[in-house]
């Protein structure tokens, strides 16, 4: 066994020479035993710790989109999305460069935080924010589903990737105002196959990045239509834009 591990280490070292593994944040080469992120960047990860706060700036933004007499939705993210830093590469590499292993690594960190929080440890169903089928087809995967699967596995919850459907392909949100984003996603989602949510008490909506909360808000509102009022709906994302 020891011999095999050593051989694997040697193979990996050789592979590192040909194709160096680098830190997703700073781009520096990683030592043999590290993966995805270097020690310094991990130490400096701008974590939100919102999983410990029932109300926080992210949940305030989310609930501003969910009007009506419904229960307050909790929200948390692993770290702050800052466009000026390398940390944005964590979600970008998953979304645009197919870095599934990196995505799963950080989703695992988020999952561990959720499992340790009394506010989220009772989550029994996970719903990823869907992509429009044509976008999923061209990209080959839904990044929110990659994150959602990791969280569902860690919490022992059901993954319901088809509970929501994206009715139309929304425009890229990047250049839209807050009002523009809300209008862009309003009516974009419709209930899908919600059979996996029957009898569930705490549903977690999962996405990669949380910006204005318009997308998550539209999803929570749509999920609410097919769930009894006692079912709680919360939101968790890898990163959250500050503000
Ligand atoms: Zn680094």
CA of 23 to the centre of ligand 1 (A): 5
CA of 28 to the centre of ligand 1 (A): 6
CA of 2 to the centre of ligand 1 (A): 30
What pLDDT, on the 0 to 100 scale, is given for residue 183? Answer: 67
Domain boundaries, the chain: 1-44, 45-241
Contact 108, 154 (CB under 8 A): yes
Q: What is the CATH number of domain 45-241?
A: 3.40.50.2020
CA of 91 to the centre of ligand 1 (A): 15
CA of 142 to the centre of ligand 1 (A): 26
CA of 237 to the centre of ligand 1 (A): 21
What is the phi-psi region of residue 36: left when phi exceeds 0, alpha when psi lies from -120 to 50, beta otherwise? left
| Helices marked H in the chain | 2-18, 39-43, 57-63, 88-96, 100-116, 133-139, 143-155, 178-185, 214-226
CA pair distance 14, 227, nearest whole angstrom: 53
What is the phi-psi region of residue 49: left when phi exceeds 0, alpha when psi lies from -120 to 50, beta otherwise? left
CA of 153 to the centre of ligand 1 (A): 28
What pLDDT, on the 0 to 100 scale, is given for residue 237? Answer: 98
CA of 57 to the centre of ligand 1 (A): 28
Tens digit of pLDDT per residue, the chain (243 long)? 455 667 878 777 777 777 778 999 999 999 988 999 999 999 999 999 999 999 999 999 999 999 776 789 999 999 999 888 999 999 999 999 999 999 999 999 999 999 999 999 999 999 999 999 888 998 999 999 999 999 999 999 999 999 999 987 665 655 666 666 666 677 889 999 999 999 999 999 999 999 999 999 999 999 999 999 999 999 999 999 987
Contact 151, 124 (CB under 8 A): no
Which residues have C-beta under 5 Å from ligand 1, the single-atom ion? 23, 25-26, 38, 41
């Amino acid at each position: 066994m020891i011999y095999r591990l050593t051989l694997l280490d040697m193979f990996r070292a050789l592979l590192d020479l040909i194709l160096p593994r680098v830190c997703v944040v700073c781009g520096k080469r990683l030592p043999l035993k590290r993966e995805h992120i270097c020690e310094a960047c991990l130490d400096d990860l701008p974590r939100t710790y919102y999983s410990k706060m029932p109300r926080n700036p992210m949940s305030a933004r989310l609930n501003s989109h969910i009007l009506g007499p419904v229960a307050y939705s909790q929200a948390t993210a692993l770290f702050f999305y800052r466009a000026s830093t390398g940390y944005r590469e964590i979600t970008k590499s998953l979304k645009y460069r197919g870095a599934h292993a990196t995505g799963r690594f950080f989703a695992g960190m988020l999952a561990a935080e959720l499992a340790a929080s009394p506010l989220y440890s009772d989550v029994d169903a996970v719903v990823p924010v869907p992509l429009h089928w044509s976008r999923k087809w061209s990209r080959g995967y839904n990044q929110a589903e990659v994150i959602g699967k990791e969280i569902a596995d860690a919490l022992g919850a059901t993954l319901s990737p088809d509970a929501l459907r994206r009715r139309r392909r929304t425009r890229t949100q990047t250049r839209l105002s807050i009002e523009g984003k809300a209008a862009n996603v309003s009516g974009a989602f419709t209930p899908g196959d919600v059979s996996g949510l029957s009898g569930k008490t705490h549903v977690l909506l999962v996405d990669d990045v949380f910006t204005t909360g318009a997308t998550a808000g539209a999803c929570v509102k749509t999920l609410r239509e097919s769930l009894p009022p006692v079912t709680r709906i919360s939101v968790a994302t890898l990163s959250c834009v500050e503000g």
